[in-house]
């Protein structure tokens, strides 16, 4: 299953966020979308998960077009979006947040939801220690783990991660990215990772897509992008 984006254009009122973007996200890989603040990265993810509507263009997953489906229907096709800003429900406990990720399939697959929650606790033991605490008592890194964990409960085939490193200490970022990389290797899921922290993202990704002011300027092998000094200077600023 490949995610194919074809001629996608997205507008925010009068502002064009994404302009005629075309790219593929190959199955079973980590693809990093990188670019400066305001390049349209988050808007792209929000459109894939159905929170926002595209102006024109198509998004195909498993040869089915997503652009007219509701968010809930997209989730049910195994596409899980973990939005920016450690998006957990702060008023719920850690365990309830994880439960939330499985509510939609609780009736049919109760055992599997319980198993998935167990797996997340093994993946992030800190969450297990705090499972009865309200999510607003967690540290930033723990919240990000919980947000990703909530996404994993659905057993995603395509995981959309928006800036998981935002505002976290380098060591915590390292840990989360390492876990993601391992997880991908184990489950074979596809991860589309949006990051401003280009170095960390490209290191675990196999493919990189560089966005600049809503346009796809490069779509290439991650290593090639990392090694292209001119490109790095022009778009990534280091």
Residues that bind another protein (CB under 8 A): 49, 51, 70-72, 75-76, 80-83, 87-92, 96, 99-101, 103-106, 150-151, 154
Nearer to another protein, 86 or 130 (CB): 86
Least Å distance, CB 178 to another protein, is: 24
Nearer to another protein, 32 or 135 (CB): 135
Cβ-contact 219, 44 below 8 angstroms: no
Nearer to another protein, 31 or 97 (CB): 97
Least Å distance, CB 147 to another protein, is: 8
The residue written with tokens 């995610």 in the block is 3
Least Å distance, CB 76 to another protein, is: 6
Least Å distance, CB 87 to another protein, is: 5
Nearer to another protein, 149 or 208 (CB): 149
């Amino acid at each position: 299953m490949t995610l194919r984006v074809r001629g996608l254009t997205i507008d925010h009122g009068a502002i064009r966020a994404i302009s005629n973007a075309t790219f593929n996200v190959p199955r079973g890989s980590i693809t990093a979308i990188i670019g400066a603040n305001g390049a349209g990265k988050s808007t792209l993810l929000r459109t894939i998960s159905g929170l926002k509507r595209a102006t024109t263009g198509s998004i195909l997953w498993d040869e089915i077009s997503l652009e007219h489906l509701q968010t809930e229907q997209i989730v049910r096709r195994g596409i899980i979006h973990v939005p920016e800003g450690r998006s957990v429900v702060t008023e719920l406990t850690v365990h309830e947040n994880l439960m939330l990720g499985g509510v939609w399939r609780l009736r049919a697959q109760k055992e599997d939801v319980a198993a998935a929650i167990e797996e997340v606790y093994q993946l992030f033991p800190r969450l297990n220690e705090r499972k009865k605490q309200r999510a607003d008592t967690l540290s930033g890194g723990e919240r990000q783990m919980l947000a990703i964990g909530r996404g994993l409960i659905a057993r995603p085939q395509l995981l959309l991660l928006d800036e998981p490193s935002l505002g976290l200490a380098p060591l915590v970022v390292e840990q989360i990215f390492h876990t993601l990389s391992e997880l991908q290797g184990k489950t074979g899921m596809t991860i589309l990772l949006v990051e401003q922290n280009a170095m960390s993202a490209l290191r675990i990704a196999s493919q990189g897509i560089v966005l600049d002011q809503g346009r796809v300027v490069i779509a290439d092998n991650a290593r090639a992008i990392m090694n292209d000094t001119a490109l790095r200077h022009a778009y990534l600023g280091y």
